[in-house]
Chains A and B, each alone.
Chain A
């Protein structure tokens, strides 16, 4: 494998890791606050559809992004209502959201666009284009650093940079601010927060809200940056892979980055059978490569996670004790 191929592989790793990273951080906020969320998938899907649909209708990708975030937030609110206010089962609520999103997106897409559950292909301002960083073109021919900068670092859409910036930001928020301290506390022992006179419900809604926003960005990225338009079930289990990455990352922001990059790499390898062939010396079936991220999810969860302790109050609705 030559250097340029390697850089290209990393480049597509970054592209594919971005939605996983955003969804993983979304789950991190929610689960750190004690609300398990298997509805990441559904929220991403809904956001993917609405951002593509609105971007297609308005021709403005930013309005599309807002619509995607809005749709995701709505589903977040639903999850919050079910699991925080009505103290329902968080898993069931998440499953319901996934089904709702899967059905609703195709139905509305068909109704609006009559293209078999798709949105029209997005062009021009209806899509996030790659940003060429200053000096990228000039440096492209410099050995080693040139391709690294112009191919790998430069040329991504704004959402990619946003996702990567979200990692240190999340870390800072969680570990350096009052909000983060309270958020982590409410996921570990909500009674400690309640007795300190802080609203458990308020904190958990805030966390679920942040989760909704990040899922919205992740979904919008899928349909308006990674692809040019919405297709049925386009989230393709990424929400679940993000959850696996979250467990692999032990609910920590920096680990989440490495975990999602790893899963992104598996995804990138899927698109480059030539690289695999060069690496292991034999041809691997395309279907098998396609299954690679999913197989690795199972393998990693089963074998490599070790002891991952989830937030202690996770999944449990908070009821004041008598």
Chain B
């Protein structure tokens, strides 16, 4: 872009109306005020970030803009004219396109079928499909959005699926694109690719609203940023004039430590010793191919890797609910990997505690109350028993104590697990596992879907456990988290450990290459090479 066109665009931007202007939007769900008197102006041709914790009301606000909900109060102005958006059809007609966090794609339809769904040109499909095919070629040329129109959605990776969502919006001639937590499911390389695409869209004059809770994305990609907290818009600032620390404080309402405070590790004896661990799943696919790892007392070993490269299977084998072959020793004692002692109960008796990756499916029973969830796995504890029956009062009292110590809010043991926020659910699981004083803590995705404030707390708890001389095996797809917490980092790719690094001697770039299966990290590598490798790994994931 030449300097002239830039000034030209700025000049037109200054003279034109905002692409979107919301005035005093309020929305309540029963007693919960999801949005309180929110006003916002988004200028055309800019990327505007909306940041806030889970439940701050970001998604509700965007759902109102997209016609999913009707605001109780307030006005929506699009390109300077007041617009009623009673349903999604009206939003689409107003030139608004939305890329949801959970894609709205039909898995067993082709890319092309998904794109025309709802935007067909007539009763018969053939002409619509032909037209979409032509348009797709144009869009690919204009924005660098390449997809295979005939591929089935279930056969392509998440990065590609997201591209289809963007294409869906562009096919409907959206000028305003809303992306809700777009990088939650993407690998670092895919996220970079997405931001390149967004940059391209912006330079073509599209307006983009980026909803995220990741400060780094806001700082790197947006022009302006609005911060939401508890349903209110607390600030709108130019991105260039703010800092991550300031944004975090605006989000949470207090100062937040973005960096994990920890002293160097005082490592002791080897606690966990894994040799040649191999896992073959039900379909005969080798998920772990001879993994060797050691974790010492007083140490956090972080496992980095793109999801689906064997990390989950590693946790499952160690947690006792997936068979495997090889040798795993805990404090020198051989663990039973396939026999009748390979279950969660035996593992707990050995001193292994497990915070599973998917807390809603493996860590908790969502319909059960907090105190019931606290007893799971430890229900044989004599303290929880009264003769043949469970001593419910003792469990509830114990849960109340745990909730206080782990700052679970609200501290009500009789509330069902599903009624806690993600962060508080995780704290319940963490309290259950950590307070058993395990020798080894397995912890997967400790802060997935957890607010900044709770992340800080959970990280502190993990480090505190380490400082008590416990061994910790941490699996996370968030590189930042791995780098911040780990004393040692192992990178997994396609069921193998590609290498180990010390956090102080490495960076995201090197780890990113290892995560893509490239071990000679000093040599130059093209983006295409990394993407090709990642695609290979992603197709491995698809096999499950």
Within 8 A of A (CB), among B57-88: 59-60, 63, 66-68, 87-88
B108 within 8 A of A: yes
Interchain CB contact under 8 A, B107 and A188: yes
Chain B residues with Cβ under 8 A from A195's Cβ?
66, 68, 88, 98, 100, 104
Chain A residues with Cβ under 8 A from B119's Cβ?
196
Within 8 A of B (CB), among A90-126: none
Chain A interface main SS type = helix
Interchain CB contact under 8 A, B88 and A188: no
Q: Which of A22-30, A174-182, A264-272 contacts B (4 or more CB under 8 A)?
A: A174-182
Chain B residues with Cβ under 8 A from A312's Cβ?
107
Chain A, residues 296-322, CB within 8 Å of chain B (1/0): the string is 000000000000000010000000111
Known A185-B106, A189-B107, A195-B98; judge A179-B118 contact (CB<8 A): no
A191 within 8 A of B: yes
A195 to B68, CA, bound (A): 8
Q: Which of B109-117, B386-394, B514-522 contacts A (4 or more CB under 8 A)?
A: B109-117
Partner of B89, one of A178, A197, A320: A197
Q: Which of B122-130, B298-306, B320-328, B401-409 contacts A (4 or more CB under 8 A)?
A: B122-130
Chain A residues with Cβ under 8 A from B88's Cβ?
194-197
In the complex, what's the smallest C-beta–C-beta distance from A172 to chain B, in angstroms?
10
A281 to B2, CA, bound (A): 91
Interchain CB contact under 8 A, B118 and A188: no
A192 within 8 A of B: yes
Chain B residues with Cβ under 8 A from A196's Cβ?
88, 92, 104, 117-119
Chain A residues with Cβ under 8 A from B89's Cβ?
197-198
Interchain CB contact under 8 A, A178 and B87: no
A179 to B117, CA, bound (A): 10
A182 to B124, CA, bound (A): 12
Interchain CB contact under 8 A, A189 and B120: no
A185 to B168, CA, bound (A): 15
B105 within 8 A of A: yes
Chain A residues with Cβ under 8 A from B123's Cβ?
177-179
Interchain CB contact under 8 A, B128 and A178: yes
Interchain CB contact under 8 A, A322 and B92: no
Partner of A181, one of B29, B100, B116: B116
In the complex, what's the smallest C-beta–C-beta distance from B12 to chain A, in angstroms?
30
In the complex, what's the smallest C-beta–C-beta distance from A100 to chain B, in angstroms?
32
Chain A residues with Cβ under 8 A from B60's Cβ?
322
Chain A residues with Cβ under 8 A from B87's Cβ?
197
Partner of A188, one of B29, B109, B125: B109
Residue on A with the closest CB to B114?
Answer: A192
Interchain CB contact under 8 A, B92 and A192: no
The number of residues on chain A lying at the interface, defined by a beta carbon within 8 Å of a beta carbon of chain B, is 24
Residue of B60, B88, B98 most packed against chain A (CB within 10 A): B88
A177 to B109, CA, bound (A): 14
A178 to B129, CA, bound (A): 10
Interchain CB contact under 8 A, B104 and A189: yes
Interchain CB contact under 8 A, B29 and A193: no
Within 8 A of B (CB), among A174-216: 175-182, 184-185, 188-189, 191-198
Chain B residues with Cβ under 8 A from A197's Cβ?
67, 87-92, 118
Known A193-B118, A196-B88, A322-B60; judge A181-B125 contact (CB<8 A): yes
A193 to B59, CA, bound (A): 19
Chain B residues with Cβ under 8 A from A188's Cβ?
106-109
Partner of A185, one of B29, B109, B125, B128: B109
Chain A residues with Cβ under 8 A from B100's Cβ?
191, 195
Chain A residues with Cβ under 8 A from B128's Cβ?
178
Known A178-B122, A320-B68; judge A193-B117 contact (CB<8 A): yes
Residue of A180, A188, A191, A322 most packed against chain B (CB within 10 A): A322
Residue of B106, B109, B124 most packed against chain A (CB within 10 A): B106
Chain A residues with Cβ under 8 A from B126's Cβ?
176
A185 to B122, CA, bound (A): 17
Residue on A with the closest CB to B129?
Answer: A181
Known A196-B119, A320-B68, A322-B60; judge A178-B107 contact (CB<8 A): no
Chain A residues with Cβ under 8 A from B122's Cβ?
178
A322 to B27, CA, bound (A): 12
A188 to B106, CA, bound (A): 6
Residue of A188, A191, A195, A322 most packed against chain B (CB within 10 A): A195
A172 to B67, CA, bound (A): 33
Chain B residues with Cβ under 8 A from A192's Cβ?
104-106, 114, 117
In the complex, what's the smallest C-beta–C-beta distance from B328 to chain A, in angstroms?
34
A7 to B87, CA, bound (A): 58
Chain A residues with Cβ under 8 A from B113's Cβ?
181
Partner of A178, one of B63, B67, B98, B120: B120
In the complex, what's the smallest C-beta–C-beta distance from B165 to chain A, in angstroms?
10
Known A178-B123, A179-B123, A181-B125; judge A198-B118 contact (CB<8 A): yes
Within 8 A of A (CB), among B143-199: none
Chain A residues with Cβ under 8 A from B124's Cβ?
176-178
In the complex, what's the smallest C-beta–C-beta distance from A293 to chain B, in angstroms?
31
Chain A residues with Cβ under 8 A from B29's Cβ?
322
Chain B residues with Cβ under 8 A from A193's Cβ?
117-118
In the complex, what's the smallest C-beta–C-beta distance from A177 to chain B, in angstroms?
6
Known A195-B100, A196-B88, A320-B68; judge A176-B108 contact (CB<8 A): no
In the complex, what's the smallest C-beta–C-beta distance from A252 to chain B, in angstroms?
12
Residue on B with the closest CB to A172?
Answer: B124
In the complex, what's the smallest C-beta–C-beta distance from A188 to chain B, in angstroms?
5
Residue of B59, B105, B113, B117 most packed against chain A (CB within 10 A): B117
Chain B, residues 429-446, CB within 8 Å of chain A (1/0): the string is 000000000000000000
Residue on A with the closest CB to B59?
Answer: A322
Chain B residues with Cβ under 8 A from A189's Cβ?
104-107
Within 8 A of A (CB), among B178-233: none
In the complex, what's the smallest C-beta–C-beta distance from A20 to chain B, in angstroms?
26
In the complex, what's the smallest C-beta–C-beta distance from B310 to chain A, in angstroms?
26
Chain A residues with Cβ under 8 A from B116's Cβ?
181
Interchain CB contact under 8 A, B68 and A182: no
Partner of B104, one of A177, A182, A191: A191
A179 to B102, CA, bound (A): 25
Chain A, residues 15-45, CB within 8 Å of chain B (1/0): the string is 0000000000000000000000000000000
A154 to B116, CA, bound (A): 43
A263 to B162, CA, bound (A): 44
Residue on A with the closest CB to B124?
Answer: A177
A182 to B107, CA, bound (A): 14
A238 to B60, CA, bound (A): 48
Q: Which residues of B contact A (CB under 8 A)?
A: 29, 59-60, 63, 66-68, 87-92, 98, 100, 102, 104-109, 113-114, 116-120, 122-126, 128
Q: Nearest 4 pairs between A and B by C-beta?
A: A196-B118, A197-B89, A197-B88, A192-B104
Identify 9 new A-B residue pairs, CB closer than 8 A, beyond the known A178-B120, A178-B125, A322-B60: A181-B116, A181-B117, A182-B118, A188-B108, A191-B100, A196-B104, A197-B89, A197-B118, A322-B59
29 A-B contacts (beta carbon < 8 Å): A176-B125, A177-B124, A178-B124, A178-B125, A179-B123, A181-B116, A181-B125, A182-B117, A182-B118, A185-B106, A185-B109, A188-B107, A188-B108, A189-B106, A189-B107, A192-B104, A193-B118, A194-B88, A194-B104, A195-B66, A195-B68, A195-B98, A196-B88, A196-B92, A196-B104, A196-B119, A197-B67, A320-B68, A322-B63
